[in-house]
Structures are given as structure tokens and as C-alpha cells.
Amino acid sequence: MVYDANQVPEHLLIKIEHRDDPVSAVSEDDARNRAAAYPKLMWGAPIFGSAQEANGRWRILRLNADSPQDARDSLASHFRRLHSETPQTPEHAAERAEYESVYELLDWEAVDELTVNGSRYRIIRAQPFIRMGADGPEPPRPTDPDPYPPGQTKRDTSQLDGFAIDPAAGTGLTNGLVRMEMISASYHPRAVPGDVHADSRLAVTTHPNVVLLPVGFTVGECVAGRWRPRSSTTYATPQDARDAESFSISDVGVKLDDDTPMEEFMAAYERARAAHRPPRADDFELKGVPCRVTRVETFVRVGPDGPEGPRPSDPDSHLPPARLMQEPDASA
């Protein structure tokens, strides 16, 4: 379908804005340089979360789940919290009853679309990717905020929480080019099963635009000449990733087994944690293994009715909790 320039639907729009401020100019220059130095895009496993529609705009509630069911469980917890925070008064009785009804439903059923007290909620799907170059994955850019010193990043919260999924929002030239590249992108047919590839091709049609989400960071490690992530967790800032991923249970010094009192292990854990000095550099070694703080970009597909939900081929980790508890009895 051909649209007049002034009548392009929001879900098809990419609005490039020229920004004259110095910070934007430096950020654009960083982006161009990194696109040349790290030209290969590598997709990771999809992540899942929930979003709420308010006043015609979808906003992310949480986006950190490895499977659709984990996201549903998190959404049920969100409604439990709203139920507990709603006053126990007669005028709020219907509101509380609806929250209770919905979290009980999510305990039993794999539901991806809900309308609760007048607001729409949806389980959403997002696609992370990293850039690779001749020397490995892309590290943080000079313009990526990294405000806190080592060991003091607990104040950081996810930039995804409350983020508006707005395809019509203005963007810089480089991000606009990335979005245009991602619009037609799908899984390679030889890299994934047939149903996964078919779903990714269908998503290009049903959700024909993409929105780039706030950048996150993780730590990669180079083992036997190949880079791989140390964990699946993405953090808000580079130092947050260094703090978390440069320390592990193996650093405690006390082996946790059936004979180890938990109090002894936790005391050793706190001592080891206090003695740990997280690195500040983007490249460092952990027990002789080269590591690098890695920049993680993420996009969500959008269509005329908002962000994309889970695909039929997306693996779902487990049953809803109430049904999961019944599973041993069912198999007996």
C-alpha cells in the first residue's frame, strides 16, 4: 500500500531528526565508527516481558525473562502487588477483585493478552543482538553512560522499565539506519528449525517496524579462541556488568555442600564479596580467561496493534505454577 507522506501510519514510521547539540553529534560519530569497526550483527536468544497500554501508547513493565511463561509469572506478581497496594475500601472492592481474578488466572493459564481495570496488558518479545569485529564483540562506546565507580552500582535500575515503545519518536540517522536494516531481518534458514524461521519471516509482515530499546551490557569471555557470554544477564551500565560478572560463587573459598552450614558459607560469601575489587577496564582477565564488557542492543517488533508477542515456535520453559504443582499427580 502507498501512503501520502503526511499519512504514514505510526507503526510504519521511522522519523529521522537532525540534532545540533554536541552530545548528539559525538554519539552519531561514535555510532558510525563502531558500525565500521564491528560490522557483523549476531542475534542472541529472544527475551520476554510485559507491557501496558495507556493513552494509546505501550510502555514496558519488565523485560528480563528467558521465556514467555517466566514473563507471565512476573506479570502475575505485578498484579499481586497492585492488589496488595489497593486500599481495602468499598469503593476499591471491584478493582481489588479484578486484580485477584487476573493473577489467579495467570497461575493456571498461559495468557498473553489481558484487559485489567480498563488497561490492556501484553506479554512481549524482544530480540537482543551484539556487534562483532575482527577483535571480538563491541565494547561500550565512549558516549555510553558509566557514572558509578566499581562496587557502587546497586543504585542502577533498568532503563527498560517504563520505556515507551513509540515507533514515531524521533531518532538519529545511525539508529534510523539500524532500524531500517532490522525491519526485513529474520533468522537464517540454516541456523534455526523450520518453524522458527517461518515464524520470523511472518513477523516481518505482521509487525513491519522495529523500535530500538535502551542499550544494555554484559560480559563475554574468549574460550579456545571463541567468544561467548559469561551469563544471559544484561545490565544497565558497563560497571554494573563488571561488578556482577567478575565475581562468582567459586570465588567464595568455601565449598557449599550438604555438610557446609549455610551460616558459614554466607559469612565467607560476604567476606569474599567485600574483598573483591571489580575491574574498571572493558578488557580484563578472570583466572586467565580474556573477558570483555560487551554492548547489547535490543529491538522489539511493532505492528498496527502494538508490540509483538510470543511466537508459536518460542520455547516455553514450564507450565503455569498452579498446573505445574499438579503435574506429578497427573503423571502418577
Please state the separation of Cα 118 from the chain's center in Å: 26
* Cβ-Cβ contacts under 8 Å for 56 (sequence gap 6 or more): none
Q: Hey, where are the domains in the chain?
A: 10-311
For the chain, the average pLDDT equals: 89
What does the pLDDT look like over 259-272, one tens digit per residue?
778 888 888 888 88
Helix H or strand E encompassing 123: strand 119-133
Where residue 140 falls (left for φ over 0; alpha for ψ -120 to 50; beta otherwise) is beta
Range with the poorest average pLDDT among 57-66, 178-187, 243-252: 243-252
pLDDT of residue 125: 98
More confident residue, 87 or 150: 87
Percent of the chain topping pLDDT 90:
64
Using pLDDT thresholds of 50, 70 and 90, give the confidence band for residue 328. low
Whether the Cβ atoms of residue 125 and residue 300 lie closer than 8 Å to each other: yes
Nearest C-alpha neighbor of 216 from the set 163, 270, 140: 140
Distance between CA atoms of residues 14 and 211, nearest Å: 9
What does the pLDDT look like over 51-110, one tens digit per residue?
999 888 999 999 999 999 999 999 999 999 999 999 999 999 999 999 999 999 999 999
3-state secondary structure 280-294: CCCEEEECCEEEEEE
> Is residue 41 scored above 50 in pLDDT?
yes
> Is residue 24 scored above 90 in pLDDT?
no
| Angle subtended at Cα 298 by Cα 17 and Cα 62, rounded to the nearest 5 degrees | 110
Using pLDDT thresholds of 50, 70 and 90, give the confidence band for residue 155. low
More confident residue, 3 or 59: 59
Whether the Cβ atoms of residue 136 and residue 227 lie closer than 8 Å to each other: yes
> Which DSSP symbol is given to 251?
G
**Averaged over 278-284, what is the pLDDT?**
91
Using pLDDT thresholds of 50, 70 and 90, give the confidence band for residue 154. low
**Averaged over 112-140, what is the pLDDT?**
96
pLDDT of residue 220: 95
Whether the Cβ atoms of residue 293 and residue 136 lie closer than 8 Å to each other: no
Using pLDDT thresholds of 50, 70 and 90, give the confidence band for residue 332. very low
Joined together, the cell numbers standing for residue 55 give: 493513552
Distances (CA, A) of 9 to 269, 283, 308: 54, 44, 17
Burial class (CB in 10 A: 0-12, 13-18, 19+), 144: middle
pLDDT of residue 273: 78
> Is residue 1 scored above 60 in pLDDT?
no
More confident residue, 284 or 326: 284
pLDDT of residue 4: 56
Using pLDDT thresholds of 50, 70 and 90, give the confidence band for residue 330. very low
Joined together, the cell numbers standing for residue 264 give: 558459614
> Is residue 182 scored above 90 in pLDDT?
yes
Predicted structure pTM score? 0.88
What does the pLDDT look like over 47-67, one tens digit per residue?
999 999 988 899 999 999 999
> Which DSSP symbol is given to 90?
G
Please state the separation of Cα 217 from the chain's center in Å: 11
Using pLDDT thresholds of 50, 70 and 90, give the confidence band for residue 157. low
Distance between CA atoms of residues 49 and 58, nearest Å: 13
Percent of the chain topping pLDDT 70:
94
